[in-house]
Amino acid sequence: MWCDGRVNEDVARPAAGASTTADVGRLGGFAVELAEGAAEVVRRGADRALATTSKSTSTDLVTEVDRASERWLVDRIRERRPDDAVLGEEGGERPGSSGVRWLVDPIDGTVNFVLGIPAYAVSVAAEIDGEVVAAAVCNPVTGEVFRATRGSGAWLGEQRLHGPRAVPLERAVVGTGFGYDRERRDRQGRVAARLLPLVADLRRIGSAALDLCAVASGRLDAYFEAGLNEWDYAAGALIAAEAGCVVTGLRGRRPGDGIVAAGGPALARDFFDLLERLGADEVL
Ligand code: LIP
């Protein structure tokens, strides 16, 4: 039985008509199976000499292990749920007819993976009619599996997640990240420099999926990053939201509409107001 097998009937909000809480539970179990299986592919590849190439810029890396992990994910989805759509970072896009779309990042934090920094993850999310309802993020190094289904809370293993501590902005440890484009990084760095004296500290972990799971598990008090792709944040955003965090795109926009920002309920309003004043969503 995936998770604790219960989904709170009165809060599960599956997309209209296309799903039941049982469907959502099954998608959640499959998301965990996919994330754990692809993490094993990544683990086996980690000790190989990596053929690495670059994508959008010289710093945007991809390895043969990224591609092997995504091939494994797409093949499993095609075998088990052939009518579902898939969107993967390394080009594994497939149309579908079921209303379910999988958003997969085969290695979120590829630069960390190449350098041997143990902060990267396989990220898997399932949407029904455009709404993410199931998520799993697995760190191949630690074996940690963060998971959530809409309306049933967020979990790390068997531990229920309740988001970050209640601290004021000046005591908050905030995660962030920077794009691969040099000019964008310059603008993002200026925002970070103005934010730093107003909070306790910043962390640049290098994986949006793990950053959002860190907020969900209280390892970070808040997080923001502009310019992410759907596959980077889709799973982590649901896990953070189901852990009780506020996840937004600032200025009333949806998460991922330019920026993803997340924080605990006690901090969220002050944090989001500050990000808006600093123009954190105006760096793209
Ligand atoms: C990474 C993101 C991270 C961001 C990096 C990179 P990738 O994704 O998870 O938050 O700061 O620049 O985009 O490219 O390793 O899958």
> What CATH number corresponds to the domain at position 152?
3.30.540.10
pLDDT given for residue 53 in this prediction: 67
Identify the domain boundary among 96, 130, 160. Answer: 160
pLDDT given for residue 16 in this prediction: 40
Q: Is 40 helix (H, G, I), strand (E, B) or coil?
A: helix
Q: 148 and 206: one domain?
A: no
- Please work out whether the CB of residue 225 comes within 6 Å of at least one atom of ligand 1: yes
Beta carbons within 8 Å of 24's beta carbon, 6+ residues apart: 7, 12, 14, 128, 133, 134, 149, 150, 151, 152
pLDDT given for residue 47 in this prediction: 73
- Please work out whether the CB of residue 105 comes within 6 Å of at least one atom of ligand 1: yes
Q: Name the residue with the closest Cα to ligand 1, atom 5.
A: 206
**Is residue 283 included in any domain, yes or no?**
no
Query: Structural domain of residue 147, as residue ranges?
Result: 9-160
Q: How far is the CA of 256 from the centre of ligand 1 (A)?
A: 14
The residue ranges of the chain whose pLDDT is under 50 are 1-18
Q: How far is the CA of 266 from the centre of ligand 1 (A)?
A: 27
Alpha carbons 263 and 281: distance in angstroms, whole number: 16
- Please work out whether the CB of residue 110 comes within 6 Å of at least one atom of ligand 1: yes
Alpha carbons 155 and 163: distance in angstroms, whole number: 11
Identify the domain boundary among 134, 160, 186. Answer: 160
**Is residue 234 included in any domain, yes or no?**
yes
In the chain, alpha helices (H): 21-46, 64-80, 110-115, 182-195, 208-217, 230-242, 265-278
**Is residue 4 included in any domain, yes or no?**
no
pLDDT given for residue 46 in this prediction: 84
Q: How far is the CA of 60 from the centre of ligand 1 (A)?
A: 9
Q: 15 and 145: one domain?
A: yes
pLDDT given for residue 173 in this prediction: 98
**Is residue 183 included in any domain, yes or no?**
yes
Pocket test for ligand 1, best of 228, 229, 284 (most atoms within 8 A of CB): 228
Identify the domain boundary among 128, 160, 192. Answer: 160
- Please work out whether the CB of residue 114 comes within 6 Å of at least one atom of ligand 1: no
pLDDT given for residue 274 in this prediction: 98
Count how many domains the chain has: 2
Ligand 1 atom, smallest distance to 207 CA? 9
pLDDT given for residue 49 in this prediction: 57
- Please work out whether the CB of residue 104 comes within 6 Å of at least one atom of ligand 1: no
- Please work out whether the CB of residue 281 comes within 6 Å of at least one atom of ligand 1: no
